[in-house]
Amino acid sequence: MHFRYPLILLLVTVVWGLTFPVLKVATGTLTGVEISALRFCIAALCMLPFVRGISAAAWRDGCWLGALALVSMAAQAYGLQFIASNRSAFLTSLNVLMVPLLGLLLGGRPGWLIFVAAALACLGIGMMSYDGESDLWADVATLLSALAYAVYTMGMSARARLHKAVQLASAQVLCMAALGVAWMLLDSGATRVLSLPALINLEVLLGLLFLGALASAATFFLQAVAQTHVSAEQAAIIYAMEPVFAALFAWIYLAEIMTPMAQAGALVVVFAVVLSQRPSTVKADGSDEPPNAYPPPK
């Protein structure tokens, strides 16, 4: 496997880490559904030049993948209204374990090293993120976010190689924007939606632009490129770096401090990511590119 593809996913994860403090600020003004809808409207504008020529199959896969990602991000943003960003990062990153476990349910045979790396990643995230605070419904919503993203990660690895990356990313983003606007109108009501321009200050606007252009449009394209060559299990482990970067940016942006325990946990996560990149399956041609560990969805 070419290491540039895991590095691309690591770059995606750095961007995602920055979204936690940005989302935390935005939730002071907007609801989780509103943030998700607006960010994907911005992302859709970025992807409009690439819409022409998208195949029917890419629209189909993009819409169901986009729906999963939208549920995940809206649930995560809802939870961030009530719990600390580091707790949210820990709960969200439990998708690291959910991916290989779901793969088993689908008849896959992920290598044992993936389970060791996933367990180490969750241990490290727990050391780094546990703060003792809780909110039942916020925790449930964040766990739902993790489950939805685990299914999304598996679907992306199964379907990315079947489409051009820019077409799959564009289809996802446009479907998410349409679904997000409809959800926002149902959840907030037309009166609230019309009042949003007056509520959004410059800081929130800049945050939405970042979330839409970089953390959505750009990262969806990069994921579609990289996950053609990286298995869902390995991608999930790389995504476990998200709370490490979230803690770093929270320290820079929100003046949050990492304890010695949190720093030790971050090192465990880094080790787990490196461990996950050791090939556990060798193909017949002698290459170490990881296959999908589960059958693709029909």
CA pair distance 129, 143, nearest whole angstrom: 15
Q: Average pLDDT for residues 55-66, to the nearest whole number? A: 93
Show the domain range for 147. 4-276
Number of structural domains the chain divides into: 1
**pLDDT for position 134:** 64
In a domain, 291, yes or no: no
**pLDDT for position 296:** 34
pLDDT in tens, 72-85: 988 988 888 887 77
In a domain, 118, yes or no: yes
In a domain, 175, yes or no: yes
In a domain, 286, yes or no: no
Count of Cβ atoms closer than 10 Å to residue 234 Cβ: 30
In a domain, 293, yes or no: no
CA pair distance 209, 228, nearest whole angstrom: 28
Q: Taking the CA of residue 169 as centre, how many other CA atoms within 13 Å lie in the half-sphere pointing to its CB?
A: 27
Choose from 64-78, 249-263, 265-279 the range with maximum mean pLDDT. 64-78
Q: What is the percentage of the chain residues whose pLDDT exceeds 90?
A: 33
In a domain, 64, yes or no: yes
Alpha helices by DSSP H, listed for the chain, are 4-26, 32-47, 56-79, 85-92, 95-105, 112-129, 136-159, 165-188, 190-199, 202-209, 219-226, 232-239, 242-254, 260-276
In a domain, 282, yes or no: no
> What is the pLDDT of the chain when averaged over all its residues?
82
Give 35's contacts (C-beta < 8 A, 6+ positions apart).
23, 26, 27, 74, 77, 208, 211
In a domain, 156, yes or no: yes
